Amino acid sequence: MLSLVSSPVSRKAHRLAVSALFFLQGLCFSSWGSRIPSIQQKLHLSEAELGGVLFSLPVGLMLSLPFTGWLTSRIGSRKVVTIALLIYSTTLVMIGMSQTTLHLVAVLFLFGFASNMANISVNTQAVGVESLYNKSIMASFHGLWSLAGFFGAAIGTVMIGADVEPLQHFFVIMAVVLAGVAVAYQYAFPKDAPAPADQPLFVMPDKSLMGLGLIAFCSLICEGAMFDWSGVYFQKVVGAEKAWIAAGYTAFMSTMAFTRFIADWLTTKLGLKRVLQLSGIFTAVGLMISVLLPNLVTAIIGFLLVGAGVSAVVPLVYGVAGKTKTMAPSMALAAVSTIGFAGFLVGPPLIGMLAGISSLRLSFATIALMGIGVALLSSRIKTEEG
């Protein structure tokens, strides 16, 4: 557990500050996502070229994982999340300035690097604040990240409708982030749990952290599949009309955001292990409904269940990892993130490969097995509740 530190700031103020940091991180990411078509058009990129360019973002993210955990354990999550969000928002503006494909590739690498710096450090902050409450509050922080996704998409839609260039749009977001960080910094959690003086840059996760990483891996395979393939599934399998192609993605995102705000309450009532088991079951059942009954209404219901299923897994797993006694919280989070995020990368191409071999429906049915994996692996978690 994190050692509680005496602070003149109330725990509610700490919670509001860290909530704001999660929101600002999500706003940066969703603002970029909302303008991808604009960037593609500006640089005249084909779909294949865009896919290659976008790969630089997760490369930067993955390469930053061991460094970020080590840096956070050395100088503290409050300093790292501040630095990361400053770089993140500045790099967002640099994306808007990109005039060549090579420039965009380099900037997206930095954007991915800063994204993970923010991710690890802000989750370390959340672990610290959670220790002040002695109950699960991690999922609500991630709910604000999801909520920022809706705000970012809405702002992007307005900017596109008003013919505002990405550069001007991103300057506005950067100003919001800089102002938000300036206020939140003074109320952020002041000090993480002490790290060993000889903490290496990379630490192999122990058995318990490996198990948590595998749970995150299974869930993030499903989550990545939803992000990248939900529209294609509704178009080609469900046969939705053009106006309804995005309905599955919207349903998924809606329940994922909503459930994150009640997941902490559910965890308090039902226990961590049971919530994770139910999450895996919801994910598997939702995917199978959309596979076995691929019409508009039932597919939407299925995607609603998948959103509810994946919503709490990563925040709850992060919460458990951050309480480990075997290494600094930031290092534990980096280790679990490394394993889990591999699933986020593997999911979309795995669906494409399986769809090429057989069909998109069969590939979604295969991904449903990952939901069952979450339920089974969660039964082996050792927690304070047993």
Q: Please name the residues in contact with 7: beta carbons below 8 A apart, sequence gap of 6 or more.
A: 14, 190
Query: CA–CA distance from 116 to each of 25, 237, 243, 244, 335 (Å)?
Result: 10, 34, 34, 33, 12
Q: Is residue 328 a contact partner of residue 201, using CB atoms and an 8 Å limit?
A: no
Cβ atoms within 10 Å of 106's Cβ, excluding its own: 15
Distance CA 118, CA 16 (A): 17
Please identify which residue in the block is written with the tokens 């090579």: 102
Q: Could you tell me which of 31, 8, 26 has the C-alpha nearest to residue 170?
A: 31
Distance CA 123, CA 59 (A): 21
Q: What is the pLDDT of residues 17-75, one digit of tens each?
A: 999 999 999 999 889 888 887 888 899 988 678 777 877 887 888 888 778 888 888 88
195 vs 62, more confident: 62
Q: What is the pLDDT of residues 295-342, one digit of tens each?
A: 999 999 999 999 999 999 999 998 888 888 777 777 888 888 878 877
Domain extent listing, the chain: 11-185, 207-378
Q: Could you tell me which of 130, 123, 385, 133 has the C-alpha nearest to residue 273?
A: 385
Q: Note the pLDDT of residue 309.
A: 96
The residue-averaged pLDDT of 347-360 equals 80
Distance CA 373, CA 159 (A): 41
Q: Is residue 116 a contact partner of residue 70, using CB atoms and an 8 Å limit?
A: no
Q: Note the pLDDT of residue 243.
A: 77
Sign of the CA dihedral running 323, 327, 328, 330:
negative
Q: Is the pLDDT reported for residue 348 higher than 80? A: no
Q: Note the pLDDT of residue 246.
A: 78
Q: Which stretch of 134-138, 237-241, 382-386 has the lowest confidence by average pLDDT? A: 382-386
Q: Is residue 53 a contact partner of residue 32, using CB atoms and an 8 Å limit?
A: no
The CATH number given to 11-185 is: 1.20.1250.20
Q: Please name the residues in contact with 297: beta carbons below 8 A apart, sequence gap of 6 or more.
A: none
Distance CA 48, CA 329 (A): 39
Mean pLDDT, rounded, of the chain = 86
Most confident of 77-86, 151-160, 343-352: 77-86
CATH topology of domain 207-378: Growth Hormone; Chain: A; (1.20.1250)
Q: Note the pLDDT of residue 67.
A: 83
Q: What is the pLDDT of residues 65-123, one digit of tens each?
A: 778 888 888 888 999 999 999 999 999 999 999 999 999 999 999 999 999 899 889 98
Task: Name the phi and psi angles at 2, rounded to 5.
Answer: -70, 145
Q: Note the pLDDT of residue 1.
A: 40
Amino acid at the residue 157: T
